[in-house]
Amino acid sequence: MAETIRLRVKCHACSNLIEGTAKYGSGHFVPEGIVFEFVAVGKVEGAQGRRVKAEVTCTCPNCGVKCKYSV
């Protein structure tokens, strides 16, 4: 079963809003919109249920700086 990942972050250098989505499931990852790399590093259990802890790397389309985020 594929889950939808929504990315909405600001660039570290120019504060441009970077938005993108992707489908993530067992064995496949399909980005839509802005291309970003997604690496799952664990799972977190909270009050809202289980979530995937991940590192996301993307290139800002405005200034070209490569930004890394933890989600």
Tell me which residue has tokens 């499931």.
Answer: 25
| CA dist., res. 31 & res. 28, Å (int) | 10
* Confidence at residue 68, expressed as pLDDT on a 0 to 100 scale: 92
* The pLDDT of residue 41 is above 90: no
Instruction: Name the CA dihedral angle for 37, 39, 69, 53, rounded to a multiple of 10 degrees.
Output: 140
Banded pLDDT at 1 (limits 50, 70, 90): low
CA–CA separation, 45 and 34 (whole Å): 28
Which pLDDT score is estimated for 13?
A: 93
With a pLDDT cut of 90, the percent of the chain lying above it is 18
